[in-house]
Chain A
């Protein structure tokens, strides 16, 4: 099999190496791990797992609108369904199984109380458009969440409706766009973004028609103030800075960055993906931020769910608050009310970003989490997250190469691949070998400013014993790498449900849905 590399030097196809032990079962299963077919391969074309009475009226009134051709959707009985999904679930890593140190992703424990509260019928079984008099508790909850977010960030306003972090970035930039427009300033077409930024930052700026200008980074991993000064100008609408940044470092000059930005007539957007490192200890409002999204699925522990749903409320400064998207909740003498249209108090709003009122299910979970911790618990969250990351950094620095060895990191520890030089082992190989040791790999090859980056975020919900177990595993792997045990890395993972997957083939000949094999007589083909 050929091997190829993408632009950041990450191999995209596996290298062939023999398995450690040649034993094969006769059926392809691996003990408790069964090979599980797709639902389309289980002969369920005429089955269903629901018992529904026949309709007592037909659809003759719809004539030619009725769908006549087969749709091709198999059904499964309930026991088959349960087994299918439980078998599939066992092929996933999860935070409930072991440390999940994806830097910048904040994989922390998801309390089940949050799930229980979100499922109270008073929250889960209410319609977004039923009369507001019948949902006063839901509006009160949104109002209380808004109060917590504003207090924790020291900001005067919050837009709750954005559906995830990137959607929050969009919200912030649209508010900034509207604010410049309101001043009659249409010349600002550039957004400044540091080279270390999340991909969503430049993508969002470009998405709404801005061109992106990159700002250089200093040798100690922070925004280069000289370069910032050089690139600020009357064409700059905003700067987007992540703080703590994606190298896991606090931007020491953040107040100066804000001052320079404002002086140039631009606004300061802060990517709040890493707010968990400072919650309860630092208020972004004190740093000069104009807008910042908060990933409720990171800092406030709503579950990641294999890729969402998230929620990305955006706190706003006085300057941007009038332009916030609709809807929002206001309180009046008889209770709470939604402001849903761009009129009256919302006349300057930039408009609606999505149907209805945002991610209510996530609001309930996040508020449950906040109330459980309280102001003191949340401060402890930040402190323990930072302590855990520094502990990992301290205990691995003699065997791996920290990208920024001097001074403390915040909630995540960044290593580069200098320490692998000459071993023939890449960051990817090392990450895959971690899987065999029972851990999810760290974020790799990000941020782009560090070669072969390995970004480790343990979060505050890891015990010291689990941290030590993780550290010992990485130290052992580092030893094996130095000792030249190349096969252990190149062929990894050996013990996962699957061996390394061929991403190159997947992209060259995309198969994005199931198709019956030639000559098969399966329905609907």
Chain B
């Protein structure tokens, strides 16, 4: 087997150095009833060529986004990632290293995390950011738990535009920890409705901008109401590219930001791995989940970086930790860090502007299709439209004609009574020609 360096001779001589007669001697502690002599019923060892052949055949049964006009968003976005990013993250020293527990030989990873934290804090307009979470949805769920710890209250209000998968991820964790959630009925442009739902036991209000329908909202007024009630405002963003064009959550009064960072540096990957961004006000630092990287000096006084404030974490505090998170999204955070370093503010603003322009064109093209109603009033790169038919059917017909038109809202929330709503995203990869093809095909399908 090509990954196993020991030879039969090595094994024999090593057993004899140990003083064992056979490998079975090393497994003596396994109860007799559980020892298996033969191999399990699965295929045997395979060469690289054969494995590649089988997996390539599976891959060929999928339709890659890059092969068709493509308009899916709803929490995962296809952006152009510079070739440098994927090259660097495959360097052995980044790819095959562990969590930086020995800082003297992990300064590469640690400096990356410090840069990443700074980039995330600035992008979100917050004071501190951690070294990443699994993804945006788990970051949002952890934010709710954190808000409950900080305020010692046990109720969370979830906005009408919060991504349904985020709603469900929060509910799963909240219910296990006896936090009540109140989710407002899905609506395209009603984030401010959360204000009515705040009460004296409300730990936090979770709003999303741009929300799952693409609607961008100035949450300043919501923040004021939340703070007046002694609660925390959690702002969720599933499309961080928007922060190159739209006011940041920090500027609008957010206390915690939980965001999906996939758009910067990371591929679609059928939903994972992604990178959760978690940022907060400085005074909340010690209640944050996850790893934090901090600056310090070495024994010669030179600047270096270490993991710090680990008394919040499971490996030190065990059942008193702020979270159970251990492994997070290091390599995806590196991809984010590299892509963001290439973009800089200048590039970020330009790419964001192109996204918005392509989405405006998409909006105009779809608004001109008979029977289509555009629902989203203010948007970054995604809109919701109402179709005269169930969106799922329309999307399927278009997919059969090699156009991936977007995400039917019913795919996320079949109970919402919004079966006719389609979410359409247009990033910088969408061309004017793609938009024309989508509008033409949609016209044709709807008039058939």
Decide yes or no whether B271 CB sits under 8 A from chain A.
Answer: yes
**Chain B residue at smallest Cβ distance from A100:** B98
Q: How far is the CA of A373 from the CA of B360 in the complex (A)?
A: 51
Q: Tell whether B55 is near chain A: CB-to-CB under 8 Å.
A: yes
Distance in Å: Cβ of B80 to nearest Cβ of chain A: 8
Checking B25, B33, B43, B334 against A255 with a beta-carbon cut-off of 8 angstroms, the contacting residue is B33
27 A-B residue pairings within 8 Å (CB atoms): A38-B114, A49-B347, A55-B356, A59-B245, A71-B122, A73-B344, A89-B108, A92-B106, A109-B3, A125-B268, A127-B78, A129-B76, A130-B65, A152-B42, A203-B314, A304-B327, A305-B332, A307-B109, A352-B169, A357-B271, A361-B272, A380-B4, A460-B6, A461-B4, A497-B105, A499-B298, A511-B294
**Smallest Cβ-Cβ distance to B2: which chain A residue:** A372
Q: Does B172 contact A (CB under 8 A)?
A: yes
A303 within 8 A of B: yes
Q: Does A297 lie at the interface of the complex (its beta carbon under 8 Å from any beta carbon of B)?
A: yes
Instruction: Give A41 to B264 CA distance when docked, in angstroms.
Output: 22
CA distance A199 to B318 in the complex (A): 5
Bound state CA distance, A408 and B28, in angstroms? 8
Does B246 sit within 8 A of A, measured CB to CB?
yes
Q: Pick the contact of B353 from A19, A50, A55, A163 — CB < 8 Å?
A: A55
B320 in contact with A130 (CB, 8 Å): no
Give Cα A107–Cα B327 distance, bound, in whole angstroms: 14
A-B contact count (CB 8 A): 725
B17 adjacent to chain A (CB < 8 Å): yes
Answer yes or no: A377 CB below 8 A from chain B CBs. yes
Cβ of A499 to closest chain B Cβ, rounded Å: 4
* In the complex, B297 has a CB within 8 A of chain A: yes
User: Inside 8 A of B285's CB, which chain A residues have their CB?
Assistant: 510, 512
Chain A proximity mask over B220-243: 1 for CB below 8 Å, otherwise 0? 000000000000000000000001
Complex Cα–Cα for A63 and B441 (A): 33
* Contact for A73 among B70, B96, B114, B343, CB less than 8 A: B343
Contact B62 A136 (CB under 8 A): yes
Given A128-B76, A307-B291, 11 other A-B residues pairs in contact with their CB atoms under 8 A: A89-B91, A110-B95, A126-B62, A126-B65, A199-B315, A203-B323, A206-B320, A207-B145, A356-B165, A375-B39, A514-B114
Contacting pair B272 A510 (CB below 8 A): no
A1 at the interface (CB under 8 A from B): yes
Q: How many residues of A contact B (CB 8 A)?
A: 215
Nearest Cβ in chain A — how far from B395, in angstroms? 6
Contact with B along A339-372 (1 / 0, CB 8 A): 0110000000011111111111110100110111
Q: A355-B135, A358-B271 are in contact. Are A283 and B328 (CB under 8 A)?
A: no
Q: Is A394 an interface residue (CB 8 A)?
A: yes
C-alpha spacing A142/B333, complex, angstroms = 25
Closest chain-B Cβ to A62's Cβ sits at a distance in Å of 6
Q: B55 to A384, Cβ gap below 8 A? A: no
Kindly state the separation between the CA atoms of A207 and B41 in the bound complex, as whole angstroms: 38
Decide: A501 near B98, CB < 8 A? Known: A62-B216, A113-B48, A512-B117: no
Q: Are A122 and B414 in contact (CB under 8 A)?
A: no
A334 at the interface (CB under 8 A from B): no
A121 contacts which chain B residues (CB < 8 A)?
A: 59, 64, 66-67
How far does the alpha carbon of A85 sit from the alpha carbon of B14 in the complex, in Å?
A: 41
3 tightest Cβ-Cβ pairs between the two chains A and B: A75-B344, A122-B59, A356-B271
Q: What residues of chain B lie closer than 8 Å to A163, measured between beta carbons?
A: 134-135, 138, 272-273
A379 touches B39 (CB 8 A): yes
Bound-state CA distance A199–B311 (Å) is 12
**Closest partner residue, chain A, to B377 (CB atom):** A61
CB of B302 within 8 Å of the partner chain: yes
Q: Which of A109, A287, A446 contacts B315 (CB 8 A)?
A: A446
In whole angstroms, what is the CA distance A81 to B399 when docked? Answer: 39
- Partner among A75, A174, A460 whose Cβ is within 8 Å of the Cβ of B4: A460
B178 to chain A: closest residue by CB: A209
Closest chain A residue to B344, Cβ basis: A75
Fill in one digit per residue for A129-163: 1 if any B CB lies within 8 Å of its CB, else 0. Answer: 11101111110110010001001100000000001
Q: Which residues of chain B are near A200, meaning CB under 8 Å?
A: 314-315, 324, 326
With a CB–CB cut-off of 8 A, which chain A residues contact B109?
92, 306-307
Contact with A along B401-431 (1 / 0, CB 8 A): 0001001000110100000000000001000
B25 touches A498 (CB 8 A): no
Q: Which of B48, B163, B260, B270 has the most CB of A within 10 A?
A: B270
B372 adjacent to chain A (CB < 8 Å) = no
Contact B107 A356 (CB under 8 A): no
Chain B residues closer than 8 Å to A450, beta-carbon distance: none
B window 284-306: CB within 8 A of A? 285, 291-300, 302, 304-306
Is A514's CB under 8 angstroms from B244's CB? no
How far apart sit A206 and B289, CA to CA, in the bound complex (Å)? 14
A331 vs chain B, min Cβ distance (A):
14
| B272 contact from A100, A356, A373, A512, Cβ within 8 A | A356
Task: Tell me whether A306 and B98 are in contact in the complex, defined as CB-CB below 8 angstroms, given that A165-B326, A209-B178 are known contacts.
Answer: yes
Q: How far is the CA of A212 from the CA of B320 in the complex (A)?
A: 10
Residue in B84, B108, B319, B357 whose CB lies within 8 Å of A203: B319
Closest to A367 in B: B55
Query: What residues of chain B lie closer than 8 Å to A466, measured between beta carbons?
Result: 5
When the two chains form their complex, are residues A441 and B327 in contact, meaning their CB atoms are under 8 A apart? no
Which single member of A40, A203, A283 contacts B318 (CB below 8 Å)? A203
With the chains together, A133 CA to B63 CA distance in Å? 9
The answer, yes or no, to whether B444 is at the interface (CB within 8 Å) is no
By beta carbon, the residue of chain B nearest A89 is B93
CA distance A47 to B350 in the complex (A): 12
Contact B298 A354 (CB under 8 A): no
Q: A92-B94, A110-B95, A501-B296 are in contact. Are A386 and B45 (CB under 8 A)?
A: no
